[in-house]
Structure 1
Amino acid sequence: MNLLIFGATGGTGRQLLTQALAQGHTVTAFARQPSTLPPAQAGLRIVQGNVLDYQAVQQVLPGHDAVLSALGAPGNQKDAVRSLGTRHILQAMEEAGVRRFVCLTTLGMGDSKAALPWVYSYFLVPLFLRHAFADSEIQEDYIRQSQADWTIARPATLTDGPRTGRYQQGFAATAKGLRMKISRADVADFMLGQLHDPAHLRQAVSLSY
């Protein structure tokens, strides 16, 4: 497929990029700072731009089969990178006639809130991640209201561990025995897997070991 990846310079975005190329996809990486990406290689096109600039998003989107987003920002950053960037992506997708959208958010959104460990609910989120979580909630609202064929990935705490292909997905917020962490490589594995699997179409899917 001809894929467009937003947030390709982040940890999960880099895994999406690497795995997508290894699977034989053609990839466009849209990045504000392309110099932080791997060198150009077969199947990879790098486009410099800011997801908060709608015209830049609008120009890069036509001709792609699917869009993957791993947009993120520091937890205390107040800029609406996730929500406004996603709104721009979805609007440009609709204009270009591109329907498949797989997006990274986080465990703790919507009906997965109860799955968060108490240290997140009562300490980390209120003190350090409040802006990030609020922006992600708005981001998910935009996705749900869109006409796209979307899937949302909601991972637990991200790690830099290897890709295992063995993880829990779509569990209830009350599920027991979860480790509440997952590698970025396995999150990318899940996200790319959705391109050919309609099982989670228009669903938000929790991920963890």
Structure 2
Amino acid sequence: MTVLVVGASGATGSKLVEQLLIQNYKIKVIVRSLEKLPNSWKTHDNLQIIVASVLELSNTEIREIVSDCSAVISCLGHNLTFKGIYGHPRKLVTDATVKLCNAIKSNNQKGLTKYVLMNTTGNRNRDLHEPISFAEKCVIGLLRLLLPPHVDNEKAADYLRTQIGQNDDFIEWVAVRPDSLINETNVSNYTIYTSPTRSTIFNAGKVSRINVAHFMASLINDNNLWNKWKGQMPVIYSESY
């Protein structure tokens, strides 16, 4: 199986690639620069590095890249700088998701492609009743006004929910919602829930990036796990927090 990872040079995406390499997958990554990549990646037999911006690739180029991929994982996000938050492209995650899904569908291949989107607990699953307090609604409303990346995350997940849906002929999807991300070296115990079990705004949990990467890699590797969560937006917390 070949897996395409976009956002592979990021803090979580890089850990995901390492987890997939441990499991001996063939991997393609699309990165804007080689600068942040480990030297071991550049000579790894199972890793193909494509230096490009996802949104600047032509539709034909994207179709060719995904043509032999059984899974696509997006760890794209906005850099936490003024330019990264308020500059363009403001809909990086959404536009990349739409472009990749359109490429998968246009190839018209037999069999379903798995699409995994790294999202956030700040985004509710509107397929479910996920109640939040009035205070939380006010804060999230402000986030929508002040932070374009929050809206981008919402729209990317909404595209999967409403445009791909539950019965697409070519794509099955999972949108993974980590809570506050932290750095740890090793995989630890973590728990997956259908919806947040604590306030994202006022009582956020924590999860290590390597645990998120391990879960996303496990979704690709374990069909039982995939079938449990496909078409859903699971929330992940590290158990030690």
**Which TM-score band applies after superposition, normalised by the shorter structure?**
0.7 to 0.9
Return closer, same or farther for 1:126/1:143 CA change in 2, 3 Å cut-off. Answer: closer
* Structure 1 stretch displaced more, 2-11 or 159-168: 159-168
Q: How does 1:23-172 map to 2 (within 5 A)?
A: 23-39=23-39, 40=42, 41-55=44-58, 56-75=61-80, 76-78=85-87, 79=89, 80-96=91-107, 97=109, 99-111=113-125, 114=132, 121=139, 125=143, 130-144=147-161, 145-146=163-164, 147=168, 148-172=171-195
Q: Which runs of no fewer than 5 residues in structure 2 stay unpaired?
A: none
Alpha-carbon distance in structure 2 between the residues aligned to 1:172 and 1:202: 13
Q: Which has the larger radius of gyration?
A: 2
Displacement of 1:163 after TM fit? Answer: 3.3
State the one-letter code of the partner of 2:178: P
RMSD, aligned α-carbons: 2.6
State the one-letter code of the partner of 2:212: V
Alpha-carbon distance in structure 2 between the residues aligned to 1:67 and 1:171: 22
Alpha-carbon distance in structure 2 between the residues aligned to 1:199 and 1:12: 23
- Assess if the C-alpha contact under 8 Å between 2:121 and 2:196 holds in 1: no
- Assess if the C-alpha contact under 8 Å between 1:107 and 1:113 holds in 2: no
Q: How many residues are treated as equivalent by the alignment? A: 205
Displacement of 1:122 after TM fit? Answer: 6.6
The reply on whether 1:187 has 2:215 as its aligned counterpart is no
Displacement of 1:33 after TM fit? Answer: 1.3
Alpha-carbon distance in structure 1 between the residues aligned to 2:29 and 2:74: 10
Alpha-carbon distance in structure 1 between the residues aligned to 2:19 and 2:131: 30
Alpha-carbon distance in structure 2 between the residues aligned to 1:91 and 1:122: 30
Percent identity at matched positions? 24
Superposed CA deviations along residues 26-63 of structure 1, whole A, max 9, x for unmatched, are: 11111111332223212111011211125242331111
Alpha-carbon distance in structure 2 between the residues aligned to 1:11 and 1:208: 17
Alpha-carbon distance in structure 2 between the residues aligned to 1:28 and 1:174: 35
Return closer, same or farther for 1:113/1:182 CA change in 2, 3 Å cut-off. Answer: farther
- 1:201 aligned partner: 230
Return closer, same or farther for 1:113/1:102 CA change in 2, 3 Å cut-off. Answer: farther
Superposed CA deviations along residues 161-187 of structure 1, whole A, max 9, x for unmatched, are: 1333411211533458x8611111000
Displacement of 1:124 after TM fit? Answer: 8.7
Runs (4+) off by over 6 Å: none
